[in-house]
Structure 1
Amino acid sequence: MILEHAVLDVVAGRQDEYEAAFDEARHLIAGMPGFRSLRLERCLEVPTRYLLLVEWDSVEAHTVGFRGSPQYGRWRDLLHEFYDPFPTVEHYRTVLPSA
């Protein structure tokens, strides 16, 4: 299992609009092969910042499968206008699971 991690800074004043767009966009990613789960968290200290955590079967399920799909084009159209700056996306593998 791979964990995709992205810190998402949204243009101030557009958080409600972003959350509504994300609610629509999440259905696009959820149907992709290799998708496992998704969480979007909002920062308490910085209300324009979100944390996106997506579990995938593999890095390729995200980088090749999802990003190469028509669904990614719609995802981009729905969400990318909200980011300032554009986020860095990283992938993680579990080293030590919880006991």
Structure 2
Amino acid sequence: MIHEIAVLPVRTEGVDDFRAAFDAVAPLLRRAEGYLGHVLGQGVESQQTFTLIVRWRSLHDHTPVFEASEDHRLFMLGLQDLLSGEPTVQHIEGNFLM
């Protein structure tokens, strides 16, 4: 199992709208091949920073499969106007409780 950890910097004026925008595009993520679940959290000290952790069956399911898909393009399109910069993504391996 692979965990994708994406740090999403959100425009200060877009923080209130980000969760609703994420909820609108989340079905695109949920139907991805190899998707096993996710959690989205908002920073406490930095409220304009959100962290998305997605569980994937394999790294291949996330990249290249999902990242190259039309669903990924639409997922990012639904969020891009609220982001203040590029998300940073890393992957970790392990079985963690969520």
Deviation at 1:16, TM superposition (A): 1.8
Which TM-score applies when normalising by structure 2? Answer: 0.90
Partner residue, 1:16: 16
For 2:73, what is the secondary structure of its paired residue? helix
- Larger Rg, first or second structure (1 or 2): 1
Which TM-score applies when normalising by structure 1? Answer: 0.89
Alignment of 1:88 onto 2:96: no
For 1:13, what is the secondary structure of its paired residue? helix
Work out the number of aligned pairs and report it: 97
Gaps of 5+ in 1: none
Tell me the percent identity: 30
CA distance in structure 2 between the aligned counterparts of 1:9 and 1:43, rounded to whole angstroms = 10
Q: Which runs of 4+ in 1 moved over 3 A?
A: none
Partner residue, 2:31: 31
Alignment of 1:3 onto 2:3: yes
Alpha-carbon distance change, 23 to 97 in structure 1, aligned in 2, over 3 angstroms: closer
Gaps of 5+ in 2: none
